[in-house]
Amino acid sequence: MQSSPGKDVQWQHPNDVLKLHKLKLKKKALQQRINGSFSNKNDGSASSQKASPFENVLSGRKRKNPFEKSENVPKKARNNEGLLEESTDQTLFKLLNQSACDSVPDSSLTSFNGVLARINELDKPEERVEVVKATGKDWCPIDWCLRRKMRLISLKPFPWNQKLKISEEASGITSFTRCLDMEHSESTVDVSPNSKFHQCCLYWQHPSLPWLQLFPRTTSKVISNEFNLSSSSSIKNKLHETWTDSFRSLFQLIRTRQCPYFYVCANSFTVLFRAAGLLSYTDVHVIITPTTRGFRHMLRQEEIEFTMPLKKKRASDQGYETQESESGQTDESQSENNKENDFDEEDTPDEEWLKTMGINSEDIKQINYTQARIVHKTECEVDNSEQSLVLIEGVEVNAFFNFLINCKSIISPTGALAGVPPTLLAPVSFHGATLNSLRVRENKIHDDGTDYFSLELIGPILPTTIHNLLNINSSDHSMTMVFSDIETTRAFTKVRRKNQRKSDIEKQGTTVFSKENLSDCGLNSKILKSFCSADPEVLFNLECLKYCGETQTFTWT
């Protein structure tokens, strides 16, 4: 039982409650009988006549209050109060679905046809949005990363395979060594798909030691332990002499634009030499990754100027606008010199001034030692990471070339590759180079009830190898390329040319000019045009490349 909060509720015995209830029922029955007798008497009277004012007194009825609310009139539902009083979970939905004007009924919903018409209006969208399917690009991106293997996957059989005829192998070698374009060549070489495929699988390397795996250098395996180069100094010296001649030959080809690029793969770092004209660079340039503080210190000692384009700015320098931040490049040599000057002028306290402040010489040495350790720690934070990439351009490349020839630390004194100089990889022939071929494995893959044809290429995959394979592929043959990269070389693709804010006409003119200068570099004219592009968007680190034969477009991740 509920009661008003102002009254005290007293508990009553159930028998007393029943007695009160029966008494009320008797009173109501008696009152109905009395009212019924008087109503029968007044049945014949006119409805317009008013009752006598003493009628209620004679009949014993209670006088009706004229201001009392009539019970016959239906009460209007107070929706707002009812909704607020409800405590069920449907309260929120009733508030949301409540009509703005409840007194005016919707005439359109009074019939079944009106309901159907209303549903159809709600289902019709106001504006139809056209869904445009994502399309790829009509060009293939460039990735300067070195790869150890790649896999070609297709639903259809490839037009080439690993089984070569004598004429196909000979024509592929001839076309590669002479840098011939089989499609536009007037020679009598075999132009079958297998010949073209074999031409794409060849590369030049120095040194080439059959009992050693010289690529990749990080996971070298010795096939035979009977012969060790570190035990013979004469053999090591001879290897270094022949390597120097080969390195010099490649560098001369780069300078004369007869070789587009080549790689120098050492045990701890990789160097990429690129000719002038590639990616709109006006001079020969070199990229080294990863590097250490000691290696950069040796470059500064040789007075070789270099930049670190991928190095992030320090938090203390983010609030200042500099020329380096606008161009996106960080001059490591200048920054190091400025850092040393700032360290000498500001960070390092003046010893005489400290002495006047009463600080003894031992405390001054401790302060200088602490500051030197802080500077050393900040310099070593980027070691062996992408931020440690070093870029050298212009005349400084000649100094770096002499530095590599005379640097003894690039040859490991211990381990499986003790005494072996760095591996040279190039797409064109050079002095002392060995012609090698990628290993090809052909098989079928069955996945989810579908058969796929697969070709796996194992060995150093150069950037132009991908474009050469796509060039010989038929336009209606779809395929997917999956790559296995060398992680330390992925930073090569992330380097962008500074001050590339040029118009389309200027970029097109730069591309044409670079293409004409590199016409004798040994690359196909169509592929050379892509590598000479001044557009920075063509650079991308590829993990998977897909070519669609229906739309003749490329998509990648």
Same domain assignment for residues 455 and 369 = no
Amino acid at site 363: D
Same domain assignment for residues 545 and 459 = yes
Is residue 548 very low, low, confident or very high in pLDDT (cuts 50, 70, 90)?
very high
Cα separation, 416 vs 183, in Å, equals 44
Number of domains in the chain: 2
Asked whether the predicted pLDDT for residue 457 surpasses 90, the reply is: yes
Cross-strand pairs, 10: none
pTM of this prediction exceeds 0.85: no
Under a CB-based contact definition with an 8 Å cutoff, are residues 538 and 142 in contact? yes
Q: Where does 278-360 have alpha helices with state H?
A: 293-301, 323-327, 332-342, 351-356
Domain membership flag for residue 90: no
Give the tens place of pLDDT for each residue, 476-495. 999 999 999 999 999 999 99
Cα separation, 435 vs 488, in Å, equals 25
Same domain assignment for residues 361 and 467 = no
Give the tens place of pLDDT for each residue, 86-112. 445 555 455 555 544 444 455 444 555
For 143, the domain range is 133-159+438-497+536-556
Domain membership flag for residue 418: no
Same domain assignment for residues 376 and 458 = no
CA distances from 178 to 199, 202, 275 (A): 11, 12, 20
Both tokens of 554, joined, read: 């490329």
Cα separation, 475 vs 184, in Å, equals 17
Domain membership flag for residue 288: no
DSSP string, 376-407: HHHHHTTTTSGGG-EEEETTHHHHHHHHHHH-
Domain membership flag for residue 374: yes
Domain membership flag for residue 154: yes
Both tokens of 84, joined, read: 């607020």
What is the mean pLDDT of the segment spanning 37-61? 50
Same domain assignment for residues 552 and 442 = yes
Cα separation, 320 vs 322, in Å, equals 6
Specify the higher pLDDT residue, 71 or 366.
Answer: 366
Give the tens place of pLDDT for each residue, 174-221. 999 999 987 777 778 889 999 999 999 999 999 999 888 899 987 555
Asked whether the predicted pLDDT for residue 42 surpasses 60, the reply is: no
Same domain assignment for residues 449 and 356 = no
Asked whether the predicted pLDDT for residue 54 surpasses 60, the reply is: no
Residue with tokens 């701890």: 268
Domain membership flag for residue 447: yes
Under a CB-based contact definition with an 8 Å cutoff, are residues 220 and 207 in contact? no
Domain membership flag for residue 303: no
Under a CB-based contact definition with an 8 Å cutoff, are residues 426 and 203 in contact? yes
Cα separation, 77 vs 20, in Å, equals 33
Domain membership flag for residue 147: yes
CA-CA-CA-CA torsion sign (271, 274, 280, 284): positive
Same domain assignment for residues 444 and 550 = yes
